[in-house]
Amino acid sequence: MFTSKSVLALALAAAIPALTACAGSQSANVDDSALYQRAAKGDITQFAGARRLSGDMTDLYQKELLHAAQKHAKNVILLIGDGMGDSEITA
């Protein structure tokens, strides 16, 4: 009936579109690299040396909110609990 090659071909034909649909896309008009690079780069022995961000981030967050309003969330995880630790969240 079905040979192993035909089953493999059918599995690949079904998997390739599904995997390419999962590829993420970033908007080219929003530069959000400052949101993801949050490590302190300054001299911690100086005043405000441990500050991670410099400047006003208002415009960047407003652009991110507008971009998020145009797209809909695909997955939302809501954690409700009292005293939840890492082991309960990651389980």
Give tens-digit pLDDT for 35-73: 677 666 777 787 877 776 667 888 888 888 888 888 876
pLDDT score of 68: 80
DSSP assignment of the chain equals: ---HHHHHHHHHHHHHHHHHHT-----TT---HHHH-----S-TTSTTTT----S--HHHHHHHHHHHHHS--S-------SS--HHHHH-
pLDDT score of 45: 82
Q: Check whether 9 has a pLDDT greater than 60.
A: yes
